[in-house]
Amino acid sequence: MLLNILEFPDPRLRKVATPVAAVTPEIVKLIRDMAETMYAAPGIGLAATQVDVHKRIVVMDLSETKDELRVFINPELLAVEGRIETEEGCLSVPGYYDEVTRGERVRVRAQDERGEPFELEAEGLLAVCIQHELDHLMGKVFVDHLSPLKRARLAAKARKKQRLAG
Ligand code: NI
Distance 23 CA to ligand 1 centre (A): 23
Q: Give percent of the chain with pLDDT exceeding 90.
A: 93
Q: Is the pTM of this model over 0.85?
A: yes
Residue 142 and residue 151: Cα distance in Å, rounded? 10
Per-residue pLDDT band at 133 (split at 50, 70, 90): very high
CA 141 to chain centre: 8
The reported pLDDT for the residue numbered 165 is 78
Distance 132 CA to ligand 1 centre (A): 6
| pLDDT for 166 beyond 70 | no
Distance 46 CA to ligand 1 centre (A): 6
Q: Report which DSSP code applies to 114.
A: T
Residue 65 and residue 63: Cα distance in Å, rounded? 5
The 3-class secondary structure across 52-94, one letter per residue, is CCCECEEEECCCCCCCCCEEEEEEEEEEEECCEEEEECCCCCC
State the CB neighbour count (10 A cutoff) for residue 163: 8
Distance 63 CA to ligand 1 centre (A): 17
Provide long-range contacts, Cβ within 8 A and 24+ apart, for 12-15: 12/49, 12/52, 13/49, 13/50, 13/92, 13/136, 13/139, 13/141, 14/139, 15/49, 15/54, 15/139
Q: Report which DSSP code applies to 141.
A: -
Distance 140 CA to ligand 1 centre (A): 9
Reply yes or no on whether 36 is catalytic: no
Percentages of the chain per state (helix, strand, coil), in multiples of 5: 35, 25, 35
- 46-67 tens-digit pLDDT: 999 999 999 999 999 999 999 9
**Which position among 88, 113, 121, 133 bears the catalytic label?**
133
Tally of residues, the chain: 166
Per-residue pLDDT band at 161 (split at 50, 70, 90): confident
